[in-house]
């Protein structure tokens, strides 16, 4: 049959219907799988958040908004405040340090390859291992950091880095140590994608290194910074094991962030309903980042 005749045939009404719906039919199996794996458990969690579901007792009575109303306490307000600090400082610090590391190692320095490997190492460590390592390193009794500080007479007595006053800053610092390599890798790749001619043009125009960074490099790195920062923020918000192994949320709840509260409600108390309501708060927050990320990606035509 000639090709024109074949094409003509597909213009019949029943073929038009098929042509319109055929792409959806192709993605239907994958869509169903996605629904089963991602959305069904989430829908179930939403349902649980309106019940008094208990992991052990097996109850599951409808309680309406009670689990959400129960969250309206000053204690939970503090949890949210700490989570915000953890997020803003943890991500902000990681980005500043990651960008600095990338700018430094974008230059031709002796041993650059070795430094790049060393600086990426923290990212490779599993959170729980990193937490144990830092717990030992910063311990006031036998930690390396205190031994050095005391032996160099920088401090008289060992510092308790995990005291109620300092523990949150300590865990945020460890988060920065862990998160910065991701930004470093992303920004380094971004810097290397900037054409050399751009910087050369800046030099010819008499721009100082600082001006070249602010007016040339950073604007060109904006998409990379935006994407990596958003991903890092979503990761940071749901981190659990790093904080749990380091401090278990203490002392005196000073490092209790949202993920720890969810864990305690679900596993220690067995209150699946309450834990689900808390998870909805976390999902809501992560969704904000996801929304901005996806919107930007779509605008830039990548999605």
Partner 1 sequence: MSRYPELKLWSAVCVAALSVALPLGGAQAQGTVTLTFTRAGDSATVAKIFDPMIKVFEAAHPNVKIKSIPMGFDEANKRFPTMVATGTLPDVSLPPDSLSASLGQKGAFLVLDGKLSKDMVADIPKGMWSAPCANADGKTIGVPANAGALVLWYNVNLFKKAGLDPNKPPKTWDEFIADAKTIKEKTGVKGALGLNGFARNDIDDMFGATLASRSGGQWYWDNKTHSVRVDKAVAEDLDFLRSLVAQGLTQPNVDAYNRADTRKLLRDGDVAMTFDGPWVIGSLKGAADPTSPQSPYRTALLPSTKPPGATSLNLSCWNVSKASKHPDLAIKLVEFLSSAKNTLAHARGYGVIPVRTSVLRSDAFAHQPWNALALAAAGDTVPAKPGVEDLSLVEKVIPGMIQSVLLGKAKGMEALKSLAESQGWPH
* Positions that interact with partner 1 (CB under 8 A): 54-58, 75, 139-142, 157-158, 160, 162-164, 248-253, 264-265, 267-270
CA distance 236 to 227: 14
Nearer to partner 1, 260 or 281 (CB): 260
Least distance CB 14 / partner 1 (angstroms):
29
| CB-CB contact of 60 with 51 (8 Å) | yes
Nearer to partner 1, 223 or 250 (CB): 250
Q: Kindly state the greatest CA–CA separation across the chain.
A: 94
Nearer to partner 1, 92 or 158 (CB): 158
Nearer to partner 1, 140 or 223 (CB): 140
- Cis (ω within 30 of 0) for the bond into 269? no
The dihedral region occupied by 98, where left means phi > 0, alpha psi between -120 and 50, and beta the remainder, is alpha
Least distance CB 248 / partner 1 (angstroms):
6
Least distance CB 137 / partner 1 (angstroms):
13
Least distance CB 140 / partner 1 (angstroms):
4
Least distance CB 62 / partner 1 (angstroms):
19
Least distance CB 142 / partner 1 (angstroms):
8
Closest CA to 257 of 107, 84, 40, 95: 84
Q: Which two tokens stand for residue 215?
A: 């007016």
| CB-CB contact of 124 with 148 (8 Å) | no
The CA R_g of the chain, rounded to the nearest whole Å, is: 26
Nearer to partner 1, 63 or 186 (CB): 63
The dihedral region occupied by 75, where left means phi > 0, alpha psi between -120 and 50, and beta the remainder, is alpha
Nearer to partner 1, 105 or 277 (CB): 277
Label residue 253 exposed, middle or buried (CB < 10 Å: 0-12, 13-18, 19+).
Answer: middle
Least distance CB 52 / partner 1 (angstroms):
13
Nearer to partner 1, 160 or 228 (CB): 160
CA distance 107 to 191: 10
| CB-CB contact of 232 with 186 (8 Å) | no
Least distance CB 146 / partner 1 (angstroms):
10
Q: Which two tokens stand for residue 181?
A: 């390599």
Nearer to partner 1, 165 or 200 (CB): 165
| CB-CB contact of 50 with 67 (8 Å) | yes
């Amino acid at each position: 049959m000639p090709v024109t005749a074949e094409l003509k045939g597909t213009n019949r009404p029943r073929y038009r219907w098929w042509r319109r719906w055929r792409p959806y039919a192709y993605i239907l199996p994958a869509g169903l799988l996605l629904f089963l794996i991602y959305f069904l458990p989430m829908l179930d969690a939403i349902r649980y958040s309106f019940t008094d579901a208990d992991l052990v007792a097996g109850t599951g009575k409808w309680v309406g908004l009670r689990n959400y109303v129960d969250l309206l306490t000053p204690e939970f307000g503090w949890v949210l405040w700490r989570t915000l600090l953890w997020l803003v400082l943890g991500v902000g610090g990681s980005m500043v340090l990651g960008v600095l590391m990338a700018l430094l190692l974008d230059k031709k320095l002796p041993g650059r390859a070795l430094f790049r490997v060393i600086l990426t190492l923290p990212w490779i460590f599993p959170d729980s291992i990193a937490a144990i390592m830092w717990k030992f390193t910063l311990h006031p009794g036998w930690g390396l950091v205190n031994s050095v500080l005391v032996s160099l007479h920088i401090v008289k007595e060992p510092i308790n880095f995990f005291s109620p006053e300092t523990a949150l800053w300590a865990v945020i610092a460890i988060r920065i140590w862990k998160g910065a390599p991701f930004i470093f890798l992303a920004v380094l790749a971004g810097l290397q994608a900037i054409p050399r001619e751009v910087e050369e043009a800046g030099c010819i125009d008499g721009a100082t290194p600082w001006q070249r960074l602010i007016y040339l490099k950073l604007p060109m790195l904006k998409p990379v910074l935006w994407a990596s920062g958003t991903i890092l923020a979503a990761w940071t918000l749901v981190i659990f094991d790093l904080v749990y192994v380091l401090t278990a949320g203490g002392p005196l709840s000073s490092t209790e962030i949202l993920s720890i509260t969810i864990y305690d409600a679900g596993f220690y108390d067995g209150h699946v309903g309450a834990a689900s309501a808390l998870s909805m708060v976390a999902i809501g927050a992560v969704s904000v980042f996801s929304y901005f990320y996806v919107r930007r990606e779509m605008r830039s035509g990548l999605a």
